Amino acid sequence: MKATPARTPSLAVGRTKLSGVLRLEPRVFTDDRGFFFESYNETTMAEVGIAAHFVQDNHSSSLKNVIRGLHYQIEHPQAKLVRVVSGEILDVAVDLRRSSPTFGQSLVEHLSAENKKMLWIPVGFAHGFRVLSESADVLYKATDFYDPASERTIAWNDVDLGIDWRTTSSPIVSAKDASGISFKEAPKF
């Protein structure tokens, strides 16, 4: 039987203040040509506790000061692995799991093409982001398919959540996001 070669860890994992949400920092190899890193490796993810089966990849391109979210799906909940390939964002997760010790709390994480950090957001969270750069391209893997019938939107500016989006002017939001409901009214997990 052939021996498996020893693997060098390709991913550093950091816990966040929200139960289950992980900050992932890939090992980046750089030289005068540019850089290389594994943005996803099923074995590595399983080793750090992410044994997810992804069924959909999404790519969002947005302009400066756009806020997308806070979105989630009730009947077909999605866990997400989020990263930025161009620009920079504030990525936001809100814990909607009633049994969680961090229920109702939010996390704001700076993700950028430069820092190459990723965020693992398990099922049971609302998700959104604000673009800080002139534009940003955000990629995220999802564990279930998009289901418009079960999608819900929490108001990005909900007073009870008190998320610091670090805005200095009115953000650009879609009609759907502008009419999001309050955290108190939102269906939970």
Asked if 146 is an active-site residue, the reply is: no
Which is catalytic among the residues 71, 72, 76, 127?
Answer: 71
Q: In terms of C-beta density within 10 A (0-12 exposed, 13-18 middle, 19 or more buried), how is residue 183 classed?
A: buried
Neighbours of 28 (CB within 10 A): 12
Which is catalytic among the residues 40, 53, 110, 140?
Answer: 140
Cis peptide before 70 (omega within 30 of 0): yes
Which residues are paired to 31 by β-bridges? 34
Q: Tell me how far apart the alpha carbons of residues 104 and 182 are, in angstroms, rounded to a whole number.
A: 12
Asked if 59 is an active-site residue, the reply is: no
Q: In terms of C-beta density within 10 A (0-12 exposed, 13-18 middle, 19 or more buried), how is residue 172 classed?
A: middle
Query: Does residue 137 contact residue 63 with C-beta atoms inside 8 Å?
Result: no
**Are β-strands 135-142 and 56-63 bridged in parallel, bridged antiparallel, or unpaired?**
antiparallel
Query: Does residue 97 contact residue 188 with C-beta atoms inside 8 Å?
Result: yes
- Token pair, residue 16, equals 């966040």
> Catalytic positions, please?
71, 140
